[in-house]
Chain A
């Protein structure tokens, strides 16, 4: 825990929270996981601040960048964040373990890293996905999918520019790669529906939907049986927060179209996922089902049932020992 007393006058952004005649503020930068920290904070204020009133500021987690020049706040802004996940495909009759559709996935491991380059408007992220083949001992990795993307949000709209390359690891074979753009619109019930919070104070519904264009495609197929070549994608996702973001039911659909088909806008593949996630602090346990199926003809349907553990993390400037400049 780090407790700091600012020697500067209260900034306009926080002075409205101070009682009358404020001459200073105390900013507490701590992981408020223990109730005694509140008591300690009050004690620090009492000892260090000869005031009849003060204010504490507390962050819930390292935050995205924000306006203002408060050094203590800036120190707690995230430099990068992400998560690690590992999943066991407890039932997998057909979900392939390599881009050439050989093998069956046993385990999935993934590292997601992202950093804000300019507030919420420009973010870079990467996903490194690894799969193992349950028909080859479960442990040895069989496929590596690397994704690199820029993304951002403006009001209710999101954009993405992404490159993905899927390659086998334990043998030679087909490599799939594409680059795409994607535009989505987002909905958040607690914010966009008046009266939602009054009706359901501990629940929320967030969703997005959009369309994308695979403007570069090297062997990224348009169906699960590796036929055709994908051109457009249509996506939709919904998170139904059942209880205070601790229990979340989610669903995801992803359509692809075939650039070799007579109608390039008609979906040729549907990938859908439905899952239930339970979150506790920085951990999430999820059970989900995915099925990838052709839509315009018969063919291979890839599906599985998985259990997945995710561990998230945030690294702030303070964590890295990066000092912020400005008023001491």
Chain B
């Protein structure tokens, strides 16, 4: 929401709400694939995709 609506003057301006689904494929308890899907697909939501796993980093 912080990047989708910005306060301007005495109001705000809203842009497209968006997000990302990450599909993680597991085989024998090992991650074998990660696939990102932007929602809606007309906007690049790469930063949201990366953010999903940001807190998993050591």
Contacts and interface: CB of A to CB of B under 8 A. Distances in A.
Contact of B26 (A53, A123, A206): A53
B22 A60 contact: yes
Interface in B1-53: 1-3, 5-29, 32-33, 35, 39-40, 42-44, 46-53
A125 interface: yes
A60 B25 CA distance: 17
B53 to A, nearest CB: 7
Interface bracket on A: 35 or more
Contacts, number: 175
Interface string A253-294: 010000000000000000101000101001010000010100
B24 A290 contact: no
A169 interface: no
Contacts of B6: 237, 239, 250, 252
A197 B29 CA distance: 32
B54 to A, nearest CB: 9
B13 to A, nearest CB: 7
A129 B8 CA distance: 11
- Tier of interface size on chain B: 35 or more
A interface majority secondary structure: strand
Contacts of B49: 60
A161 to B, nearest CB: 12
20 contacts: A19-B27, A52-B28, A54-B26, A57-B22, A58-B22, A58-B52, A60-B22, A73-B21, A116-B17, A120-B42, A127-B12, A145-B11, A190-B46, A191-B43, A191-B44, A204-B47, A239-B6, A244-B50, A245-B3, A290-B9
Contacts of B35: 17
Contacts of A42: 26, 29
Find the residue from B13, B23, B24, B46 having the highest chain A CB count within 10 A.
Answer: B13
A125 B12 CA distance: 10
A17 to B, nearest CB: 4
A56 B47 contact: no
A138 B41 CA distance: 46
A95 to B, nearest CB: 10
A188 interface: yes
A284 B2 contact: yes
- Give the top 6 A-B pairs by smallest Cβ distance, nearest first: A63-B19, A312-B1, A191-B44, A56-B24, A17-B23, A64-B17
